[in-house]
A = this chain, B = another copy of it.
Amino acid sequence: MTTPIRKTGRVQAAPEHFLDSALVEDINRAGIDDARRGFLRRSFLAAGAAMGAGTALAQDGGAGDPNILVLPAHSRTLGKPVVTNPYGQPSQYEANLQRRESPGLTRVGAASVSFTPLQGLFGIITPSGLHFERHHQGWHDIDPTKHRFMINGLVKNPKVYTMDDLMRMPSVSRMHFIECGANTAMEWGNVAVPSVQYSHGMLSCSEFTGVPLSVLLEDCGVDKRRAKVVLAEGADGSSMTRTISLERALDDVIVAWAMNGEMLRPEHGYPLRLVVPGVQGVSWVKWLRRIEVGDQPYATKDESLHYIDALPDGTFRQYTSIQECKSVITTPSAGQRLLDTGYYNITGLAWSGRGKIKRVDVSVDGGRNWRTARLETPLLSKCLSRFNIDWDWNGAPAVLQSRAIDETGYVQPKINELRAVRGTRSIYHNNAIQSWQVAQSGEVSNVQVD
């Protein structure tokens, strides 16, 4: 049967394989659905579409035989040449996978958020084109040859660096997650947003390359006796300035020019952004133009008035910046629909601003029973980790949850455990367990359970 292939490897031999009636039957039964959602649907419409291929030109020997699946056009024609796209783009069939803004979330798009479509992504790397955006006065595409970066304040030798100065210095590359401090904010008030893109999509993960801030502070002769903090300042019009402790600044902070192997994208701070592993995104100052070394927190507007935690007693907690251990199931998730019973691979993401993920447990009954999920490697510090676990859906209603534990032993809390301490008026730093309800219809929705 495979002789033609043994002899020449020519594709024309392939239809012969399909003469096996069992296979043909299987092909005609096989359902068709939005491949990205990864669910199987039995559908006459779909089967019809599959048979539709049979109306194409028949190959030699196959003409008129209903049992022969005809080779599709792409198996019989010359395709497009290389460098059709000198910089490649996704398939036309993936056009619906986009960063999306939550309508009405803010007054203007220049001070808004676009969310990463976590429900359609795989592994731990976020494609740069789908990396979430959060701007305070819009984004700019800055000419790197004119950009300057200054270090001043409590240093012996204040300096101004060009991009060239920085990019010839010792560099490091590290994979880290970045999460906005306001990610999952709506859940505090029990607002069930419609999908994981809007509930958890202010989260991305990339490989960042740049020079350690510690190297630059050393180069400028930081005054370690008096210095306690640094202030990071962006070059956009938003006056984005954040205080970072000197201890952290000398630890794993990077003055980065590259993300996922190429120069930063404009909306992510091209040509220079601060990378502050484990800390909320607002401190990863974009279009970075200045680091000032000081002896006390600067109390700038974005740390004294914004990104602060409203507590039950009416006071506000300032300078909380670490993104605590958290996880979420991305498939199945709200807005999706299970189109068939049987086996599913439940998959999701876990991360901690304090180090590596040690374990992720998954429940399909609202937290009564837990099973430990498989963790993909590499398991990196302050980086997303991908988990997978098997599930055979019997068609009955279910509530899916994931619970992450990091290397410090910290366990991701339930939403009501968080509320008991922090109340319901908070906006930032919600790392609660997320619940997805699967209805008998297969519809998946966002619910909150005790």
Q: Is A11 an interface residue (CB 8 A)?
A: yes
Among A135, A150, A153, A260: residue with most chain B CB under 10 A: A260
Partner-binding segment picked from A189-197, A234-242, A275-283, A315-323: A234-242
Are A40 and B173 touching (Cβ within 8 A)? Answer: no
**Inter-chain pairs besides A79-B140, A121-B261, A124-B261, 8 sampled, C-beta below 8 Å:** A38-B164, A40-B165, A77-B237, A78-B138, A82-B134, A88-B265, A125-B206, A125-B261
The interface residues of chain B lying within 8 Å CB-to-CB of A46 are 145
* Given A125-B260, A137-B78, A160-B27, residue A5 in contact with residue B231 (CB < 8 A): yes
Partner of A344, one of B112, B113, B168: B168
**Closest CB pairs A-B (n = 8):** A79-B138, A81-B109, A9-B300, A38-B167, A123-B173, A35-B144, A86-B98, A122-B209
* Mask of A263-278 contacts with B, CB within 8 angstroms, 1/0: 1111100110000000
CB-contacts of A45-78 with B (<8 A):
46, 49-50, 53, 72, 74-78
Are B5 and A262 touching (Cβ within 8 A)? Answer: no
* Mask of A102-143 contacts with B, CB within 8 angstroms, 1/0: 000000111011100000111111111111011101111111
Partner-binding segment picked from A287-295, A420-428, A430-438: A287-295
Partner-binding segment picked from A89-97, A245-253, A441-449: A89-97
Are A287 and B74 touching (Cβ within 8 A)? Answer: yes
* Given A81-B112, A88-B131, A145-B49, residue A239 in contact with residue B11 (CB < 8 A): yes
CA distance A54 to B349 in the complex (A): 48
Are A133 and B83 touching (Cβ within 8 A)? Answer: yes
Partner-binding segment picked from A16-24, A358-366, A402-410, A411-419: A16-24
CA distance A88 to B117 in the complex (A): 13
The count of chain A contact residues (Cβ–Cβ below 8 Å) is 154
CA distance A160 to B289 in the complex (A): 56
CA distance A83 to B117 in the complex (A): 13
* Mask of A194-213 contacts with B, CB within 8 angstroms, 1/0: 00000000000011110000
Q: Is A370 an interface residue (CB 8 A)?
A: no
The interface residues of chain B lying within 8 Å CB-to-CB of A145 are 32-35, 46, 49
The interface residues of chain B lying within 8 Å CB-to-CB of A84 are 139, 267
* Mask of A335-360 contacts with B, CB within 8 angstroms, 1/0: 00000000111010000000000000
Partner of A262, one of B81, B121, B377: B121
CA distance A32 to B267 in the complex (A): 23
Q: Is A30 an interface residue (CB 8 A)?
A: yes
Are B168 and A38 touching (Cβ within 8 A)? Answer: yes
Partner of A261, one of B101, B127, B262, B299: B127
The interface residues of chain B lying within 8 Å CB-to-CB of A218 are none
* Given A82-B135, A171-B345, residue A158 in contact with residue B23 (CB < 8 A): yes
The interface residues of chain B lying within 8 Å CB-to-CB of A386 are 173
Partner of A235, one of B10, B72, B112, B271: B72
Are B209 and A91 touching (Cβ within 8 A)? Answer: no
The interface residues of chain B lying within 8 Å CB-to-CB of A287 are 74
The interface residues of chain B lying within 8 Å CB-to-CB of A11 are 233, 237, 239
